[in-house]
Structure 1
């Protein structure tokens, strides 16, 4: 078989696979939109899947989710263990809607057992659309690459005005200090982001005021953004 025939066969097979992939993507979007439209106002809580129940941030996520549920918010997470489990547990224990948007991964993650609503996704980008589209706020606890990826996805969309702004909280002043100092000392100083872009999020340790701050954000006509605590 000559190279031209090989190339032609490769194109035919690729087109066939891509066509089926397109239908799967459309199906995931359709299912996600249909299910999420029924949830109502919601707050997404992100964070590491590796934090054990005895970890301080597990407890804070559980407490915050309970407070949000009592304030009338559904709680959205990635549906896995760690901070996600804590948030789903806090919401369901408080009698609220506890939503897990789970992702199919080769070696992790089993859905946690504290979900009133569960959706499964093959594609990360579809799950991101659901989390952004149906959230009134993001609360980001300490986490790894996935957590930071979702944080900067939201900040980029807000910065570029591709979505309506919403409040973004980073929980853990000491944990996020190095990141914020890098943003201030490298990105702002080099002119690759503006100083105003650092007001797109707020860094906190105490989660008790977050539900009230979210409420206040939406009762203020002009959202001025946040001021950093240092």
Structure 2
């Protein structure tokens, strides 16, 4: 309701149909809200019928001839053989390798890309892809449509996804969500710091150190995902913790 000097002399329809004036409105926060909404709608619509899926993270800078590339390819292939779709960030390096393994194994190879100034498009092995403007919309898709994370050696983007997942598990925002770090030599320094510094100073609990598994065994990583899926199927929805 508006009265007196607060009454708008124009109408909403008039402003909608008036094509004159600046285009700055497309950069305003209300317009961004609609773009954000569109990204969620597009993501939910595209992935709703994907089925059981695992997200695989790793460095975009992993060379094709690096052992981690071959490892990521094997991870993608084995997950598909166990009935999972594979979701990555859609970029090069380890992400490309996981998509390649999944695609060549005949499974669903999904890439959730992000608008960045230094990376161009989705890799050639993505069979279903979505490009996002906003990191938080993209992250929601990873967590909502993945039943677990397999984390290969990576950099800041990989760390970001890893710690967000651990935070969601710690705060019980997600349940039955295994996180596996593959590559003990790479991850050992981080694990040691978490145990000997963060835990020792009381910043996390002993249970928090059990939220993830570190392994060099590809089969162990895959079977952890399989067992988690079986547990999720066997646990009635009403009995799961909120």
**TM-score (norm: length of structure 1):** 0.87
C-alpha spacing 1:186/1:110, structure 2 compared with 1 (3 Å) = same
Equivalent residue runs for 1:144-183 within 5 Å = 144-183=155-194
Aligned equivalent of 1:62, options 65, 73, 79 = 73
Shift of 1:213: 2.2
The answer as to whether partners of 2:215 and 2:221 remain within 8 angstroms in 1 is no
Structure 1 equivalent of residue 5 of structure 2: none
Structure 1 equivalent of residue 46 of structure 2: 35
Structure 2 equivalent of residue 71 of structure 1: 82
Alpha-carbon displacement from aligned partner over 1:140-174 (angstroms, at most 9, x marks no partner): 00111110000000000010011223110001101
Shift of 1:70: 1.3
Structure 1 equivalent of residue 94 of structure 2: 83
Name whichever of 19-28 and 211-220 sits farther off: 211-220
Name whichever of 210-219 and 67-76 sits farther off: 210-219
**Helix, strand or coil for the counterpart of 2:103?**
helix
Structure 2 equivalent of residue 107 of structure 1: 118
The answer as to whether partners of 2:80 and 2:102 remain within 8 angstroms in 1 is yes
Shift of 1:218: 3.5
The answer as to whether partners of 1:81 and 1:110 remain within 8 angstroms in 2 is no
Equivalent residue runs for 1:102-141 within 5 Å = 102-141=113-152
Structure 1 equivalent of residue 58 of structure 2: 47
Q: Which aligned runs of 4 or more in structure 1 are off by greater than 6 angstroms?
A: 13-16
Q: Does 1:198 align with 2:209?
A: yes
Aligned length: 211
C-alpha spacing 1:55/1:165, structure 2 compared with 1 (3 Å) = same
Structure 2 equivalent of residue 189 of structure 1: 200
> Which is greater in Rg?
2
Segments of structure 1 that go 5 or more residues without pairing to the other structure are 1-12, 224-230
Segments of structure 2 that go 5 or more residues without pairing to the other structure are 1-23, 236-242
Alpha-carbon displacement from aligned partner over 1:97-132 (angstroms, at most 9, x marks no partner): 000001111121431000110101001111100000
**TM-score (norm: length of structure 2):** 0.83
Rounded Cα–Cα distance in structure 1 between residues aligned with 2:41 and 2:230: 32
The answer as to whether partners of 2:58 and 2:151 remain within 8 angstroms in 1 is yes
C-alpha spacing 1:90/1:167, structure 2 compared with 1 (3 Å) = same
Structure 1 equivalent of residue 35 of structure 2: 24
Name whichever of 62-71 and 77-86 sits farther off: 62-71
Rounded Cα–Cα distance in structure 1 between residues aligned with 2:115 and 2:67: 28
Rounded Cα–Cα distance in structure 1 between residues aligned with 2:42 and 2:25: 26
Cα root mean square deviation, aligned: 1.9
**Helix, strand or coil for the counterpart of 2:54?**
strand
